[in-house]
Copies of this chain bind each other. A is one copy, B any other.
Amino acid sequence: MQIRVINPNTTAGMTAKIGEAAQRVASPGTRILATNPHSGPVSIECHFDEVVSAVGVAEEVLAGEREQTDAYVVACFGDPGLLAARELTRAPVIGIAEAAFHMATLISTRFSIVTTLGRTGIIAEHLLQSYGFAHHCRRVRAAEIPVLDLEDDGRAALDRIIEECLRAKAEDNIGAIVLGCGGMADLTDEIRREVGLPIVEGVTAAVKLAESLVSLGLETSKFGDLDYPRPKTFSGEFARLSGTGG
């Protein structure tokens, strides 16, 4: 089984890190192909970054369709372009935010989120409401670190995240914490050790959900509103997308 793990930003180092985290939890027969769009923002920290990155996500799915791809993971916590990606393939497509939320509700009754910048909190809030998990989440917290700080070697970012997780543990009346950024995928174990609470990380969660759906023979529904796009003309720099569809 091949799972294309799409890092929606263009920072290759983060893509590699995400790919390693994904591979570590993958089943023996699963090959992880970690990719990122050629074009787009180096990190995703607001709606504008999301909008641009979502095109890259779609193109990465189209690229995956030209190979043999069994499932996709969208590895940014805002799940950018998720429903569009699902329209482009029969294969399952899993966002890491939804994956983390699903998993967190299976092992706890209430969780908090610890994300990077405070301004991304609204993205998490919107997803929680849309997916139906709003009442399972006690609080969205931010460590107030830019995403790319997670790529630095030092402990500063990690320490801030652990600090915020400990605060959530002490104050939020929760049973688990969801990490709110794909860039935290390699930190999960250390955070778990320091915090002493189940820590749910989305990249790894999404890989397992993707594998699960493939094993079950469950594909993205092509009946109704997730059907392939009606092929049409795209103009300008997006002309290459003309005719995309079933």
Instruction: Identify the A interface with B (CB < 8 A).
Output: 10, 25, 27-28, 37-43, 45-52, 54-55, 57-58, 81, 83-84, 86-88, 92, 94, 98, 102-103, 105-110, 118-122, 126, 129-136, 146, 169, 173-176, 192, 196-198, 200, 204-205, 208-209, 211-213, 215-221, 223-227, 229-230, 232-239, 241, 244
Contacts and interface: CB of A to CB of B under 8 A. Distances in A.
A46 B230 contact: yes
B221 A108 contact: yes
A236 B197 contact: no
A136 B40 CA distance: 31
17 contacts: A28-B28, A38-B237, A41-B241, A45-B232, A48-B58, A50-B84, A52-B234, A86-B107, A105-B132, A132-B133, A132-B136, A175-B221, A175-B223, A198-B218, A198-B223, A205-B212, A208-B215
B46 A55 contact: no
Q: Find the residue from A43, A50, A55, A197 having the highest chain B CB count within 10 A.
A: A55
10 shortest interchain CB distances as A-B pairs: A39-B236, A132-B132, A208-B212, A175-B221, A47-B84, A47-B83, A51-B84, A48-B84, A108-B221, A175-B224
Contacts of A218: 103, 106-107, 198, 200
A122 B25 contact: no
Contacts of A176: 221
B41 A87 contact: no
Contact of A52 (B121, B133, B227, B238): B238
Q: Find the residue from A109, A135, A211, A227 having the highest chain B CB count within 10 A.
A: A109
Nearest to A45: B230
A129 B130 contact: yes
Contact of A235 (B42, B224, B226): B42
